[in-house]
Amino acid sequence: MSLYEALTTESAVSLVKKLGLFAESETLSCQEIGDGNLNYVFHIKGTEKSVIVKQALPYAKVVGESWPLTLERADIENRALRLQGQFAPDYTPKIYYSDKNLAITMMEDLSYLEIARTGLINGEDYPLIAQHTGEFIARTLYGTSDFALGPQEKKKLQNTFCNPELCDITEGLVFTDPFFDADTNDFEEGLRPDVEKLWQDSNLKLHAAQLKRLFLTSGDALLHGDLHTGSIFASGTETKVIDPEFAFYGPFGFDIAHFTANLFMNAFSREESRRAPLYAHVVTVWDVFTAEFTRLWNENNTEAFAQTDGYLEWLLADIFEQATGFMGLEMIRRTIGLAHVKDLDSIEDEATRLEAKRQSLSMGAHFVKERARYTSADQLVAAFKEGL
Amino acid sequence: MSLYEALTTESAVSLVKKLGLFAESETLSCQEIGDGNLNYVFHIKGTEKSVIVKQALPYAKVVGESWPLTLERADIENRALRLQGQFAPDYTPKIYYSDKNLAITMMEDLSYLEIARTGLINGEDYPLIAQHTGEFIARTLYGTSDFALGPQEKKKLQNTFCNPELCDITEGLVFTDPFFDADTNDFEEGLRPDVEKLWQDSNLKLHAAQLKRLFLTSGDALLHGDLHTGSIFASGTETKVIDPEFAFYGPFGFDIAHFTANLFMNAFSREESRRAPLYAHVVTVWDVFTAEFTRLWNENNTEAFAQTDGYLEWLLADIFEQATGFMGLEMIRRTIGLAHVKDLDSIEDEATRLEAKRQSLSMGAHFVKERARYTSADQLVAAFKEGL
């Protein structure tokens, strides 16, 4: 017997009152603001405060199709949020309550901030977003790694974040489908020659397969798992990372790769003269990640080889190389795969839009295949500026 | 409350009779034949048949010290044996019964065979051991990998083989302690200059750290985890792999590395004129592993990129490189770490023994540091023959 039932605006209000977050007598407004594809998101507002109640739905709806999806992901998201809140409290929403049976997490209302993707499309620059996101990634990844926890604790924690169904979505949509003529792909007819060329690029496929193997087998740390600019609430002064339902133990380079890929894809939607802040973000997120990871490495490290000459440098270089590849894959799949980014899709002029998408595809493929040649974020930006 | 109690020869006999493996009235002999460090091993014999009852002890005893060790490992061993029996029935003991509470596995009596290490030391060559072991490794690894199971099934299976305490032993004794002045190390005073040189070799330490990271984070397949020649029962015609209590999801190259390292260490104990069968085994186990892994890859593969040009070749080359490094580490730790091999320790003449151990250390370090230079087992054998 399942204790799960989908909330309504009425039952969501009753719940937050029962939990004492609001007085019984208070008049509350409640609006469901989710996209309804995977989750309900209730925004509940009283006279002085407000909360978010997020509930997982037992299915996923994408392009009209619906398939069953584990409710377990709500529990994974809730536990990931709590861990991330421990390592990076400034960049994580506060959690008030969670219920595994109902698959809900009740958390801080962040609607005073803006989803970063939306803001970036509207021309915001968020001067601190790269600093904050770099710290978030370094702290949450390092904090859940073998280095911080020791291998025994890490293995036990890793075992509580087995997330096969959500990983399956990433394995399909990011790492596989865009490289084959798969039903899930979605691209404009004008891109077909480019896409068919990509499907025939067996060197690209080999590199995609190598990166996929890393994703399937490398358990470095607890990843956010879906850290694009749509998973970040931001303002000029604050940054909050939300929605870690894809969290699992994966390779160190994955999260930073998705963040930088989405910055680059936003850059495609801007005039060259307005791209500088995005380029700066790519460099900053890497600088901050590297500095913070290094600080934590030197401060709190259970690894006997921690001070071995060259080990940290080798590890950081390895993370950079894999991240460059993951970044390229994200650029490809956001252009021709199932889930697009509004940054590219909302370019109104068709020729400009197609050219941006072609650039996204060819730059993506380049970063995947040539990832071993890149050793610094400055080089990534230089290559991006130069175009292909 | 724990239902565990250590068996005695009497209660072991009662148990097998209660289970109907022998008639109530039959007179059975029962002998405890384990080394008593980690497990009891009862050899129970009737007039027509015999069985082995292996029971995990709640502690490990090594060099007089005793530390608590999870009984969970008996369950892991039992489940690993059953899986290995599914993929490689000819090379795995038959399991008759197991009881998680008592931490016992009741299995086929293999005492008509000989432990391969003992036989090799006594001059046996076991002409089929490399063929069989190569098939065992390829089938058990491939069968539990993402390629065979698909990522979702694999992740679920991986989650049932979390083995932090036993992995901790390997992480310490194989990957860490030999490279530092650790209490667990154990070497002859005559080797001290060589050992101190090794401790100061920071390039070697960097490579050991890199290989340790692979062991800590790469979940390719369900490994045996301790596949040395002491874990193999053999005869001229049969091979059975026992004792997978260290089983966990680790890197593809680990098991074959331990097997080949132990072949090479046996070679050190022989005159050059009698080493040829061991060299042939090193080449054969790699040939058979590669051919069998390739056959399975082409026959049963869920990976969309399986037929991508160069993917299998890249994967096999990657496995070979990591295995060459793991092999070197095993040679080092078996020479100066806590757990030695009798092959080296039983060389009677002191000068000969020290020279063999020096060779084992320097060849081991060479394979660790130069692993990227080796691409075939023939090259490994050639380097070994040449010496350092």
ipTM here:
0.96
User: Quick one: pLDDT at residue B2?
Assistant: 77
Residues forming beta bridges with residue A99, ordered by sequence position: A104
Extents of the domains making up chain B: 9-108, 114-386
Residue indicated by tokens 């005159």: B271
Query: What pLDDT, in 10s, does the model give residues B35-59?
Result: 767 899 999 999 999 999 999 998 8
Phi, psi of A105 (to 5 degrees): -130, 130
DSSP letter, residue A32 = E
Amino acid code (one letter) for B170: T
Structure confidence by residue, pLDDT tens digits, B59-83: 877 655 677 888 999 999 999 999 9
Residue B13: predicted pLDDT: 97
Give CA–CA dist B58/B331, Å, rounded: 29
Question: Best residue in A202, A218, A308 to probe B by mutation, most B CBs within 10 Å?
Answer: A308
For A10, B13, B16, B24, B46, the CA distances from B20, given in Å and listed in that order, are: 63, 11, 6, 8, 13
Whether B308 sits inside 8 A of A216 (CB atoms) is: no
The CA–CA distances, whole Å, from B82 to A73, A145, A201, B42 equal: 31, 32, 42, 20
Q: Smallest Cβ distance to B218: which of A154, A180, A218?
A: A218
**Contact between residue A198 and residue A329 where contact means Cβ atoms under 8 Å apart:** no
**Burial level of A310, CB count in 10 A (0-12/13-18/19+)?**
middle
The model's pLDDT over B185-217, given as tens digits with 9 standing for 90+, comes to: 999 999 999 999 999 999 999 999 999 999 999
Rounded to whole angstroms, how far apart are CA atoms A22 and A20?
Answer: 5
The predicted-structure confidence for A154-202, as pLDDT tens digits, reads as follows 999 999 999 999 999 999 999 999 999 999 999 999 999 999 999 999 9
What single-letter DSSP state applies at residue A189? G
Chain A: closest CA distance from residue B295 (Å): 19
Q: How many whole angstroms separate alpha carbon B301 and alpha carbon B299?
A: 6
CA distances B90 to A226, B86, B94, B133, Å, are 45, 9, 9, 11
CB of B311 within 8 Å of a chain A CB? The answer is yes
Q: Which residues pair with B106 in a beta bridge?
A: B53, B97
- Annotate B291-304 with three-state secondary structure: HHHHHHHHHCCCCC
CB-hemisphere CA count at 13 Å for A171? Answer: 23
What does the CA dihedral A200, A202, A207, A208 come to, rounded to 10 degrees? 40
B67 interface with A at CB cutoff 8 Å = no
Residue B253: which pLDDT band, with cuts at 50, 70 and 90?
Answer: very high
- Exposed e or buried b for every residue in A89-99, given b needs 16+ CB within 10 A? eebbbebebbb
Question: Which tokens hold the place of A366?
Answer: 């380049």
Dig out the tokens for B25 from the structure.
């009235």
Tell me the backbone φ, ψ of residue A104, rounded to 5 degrees: -120, 150
SS3 for A109? coil
- Measured in whole angstroms, the distance separating CA A281 from the mean position of its chain's CA atoms is 16
Give, for all 388 residues of chain A, the pLDDT tens digit: 678 999 999 999 999 999 999 999 999 999 999 876 789 999 999 999 999 999 999 887 765 567 788 899 999 999 999 999 999 999 999 999 999 999 999 999 999 999 999 999 999 999 999 999 999 999 999 999 999 999 999 999 999 999 999 999 999 999 999 999 999 999 999 999 999 999 999 999 999 999 999 999 999 999 999 999 999 999 999 999 999 999 999 999 999 999 999 999 999 999 999 999 999 999 999 999 999 999 999 999 999 999 999 999 999 999 999 999 999 999 999 999 999 999 999 999 999 999 999 999 999 999 999 999 999 999 999 999 998 7
Does residue B72 belong to the interface with chain A, where contact is any CB pair within 8 Å? no
At A219 the pLDDT is 98
Cβ distance B158 to A162 less than 8 Å, yes or no, reads yes
Both tokens of B40, joined, read 């009891």
Token reading at A2: 């399942």
pTM here is 0.97
Burial A71-82 (b: 16+ CB within 10 A, else e): bbbbbbbbbbbe
pLDDT tens by residue, A303-355:
999 999 999 999 999 999 999 999 999 999 999 999 999 999 999 999 999 99
Q: B41, B52, B43, B100: which is closest to B76 by C-alpha?
A: B100
Radius of gyration of chain B (CA): 21
Predicted pLDDT at A66: 74
Percent over 70 (pLDDT), chain B:
98
Q: Is the dihedral of CA B270, B276, B282, B284 positive or negative?
A: negative
Section B281-303 average pLDDT:
98
- Residue A3 has a pLDDT of 85
Are A305 and B212 within 8 A, CB to CB?
yes
SS3 of residue B2 by DSSP: coil
CA–CA dist B376, B75 (Å, integer): 37
CA distance B230 to B341: 9
pLDDT over 70 at B1, yes or no? no
Contact A374, A320 (CB under 8 A): yes
Mean pLDDT of B247-251: 98
The answer to whether B107 and B95 are in contact (CB under 8 A) is yes
Q: What is the pLDDT of residue B51?
A: 97
Among the CATH numbers 3.40.50.300, 3.20.20.80, 3.90.1200.10, 3.10.20.600, which is that of A114-386?
A: 3.90.1200.10
Residue of B nearest to A168 (CA): B152
The answer to whether the Cβ–Cβ distance between A156 and B162 falls below 8 Å is: yes
Q: Please give the pLDDT value at position A64.
A: 58
Distances (CA, A) of A252 to A81, A174, A218, A321, B119: 18, 17, 8, 11, 46
pLDDT of residue A60: 78
Is A82's Cβ below 8 Å from some Cβ in B?
A: no
Please judge whether A209 and B303 are an interchain contact, meaning their C-beta atoms are less than 8 angstroms apart: yes
Q: How far A316 CA lies from chain B's nearest CA (Å)?
A: 12
Pairwise CA distance, residues A210 & A175, whole Å: 10
* Pair A324, A378: CB distance under 8 Å: no
Pick the CATH number of A9-108 from 3.30.200.20, 1.10.645.10, 3.30.110.60, 3.40.462.10: 3.30.200.20
Rounded Cα distance between A7 and A57, Å, is: 10
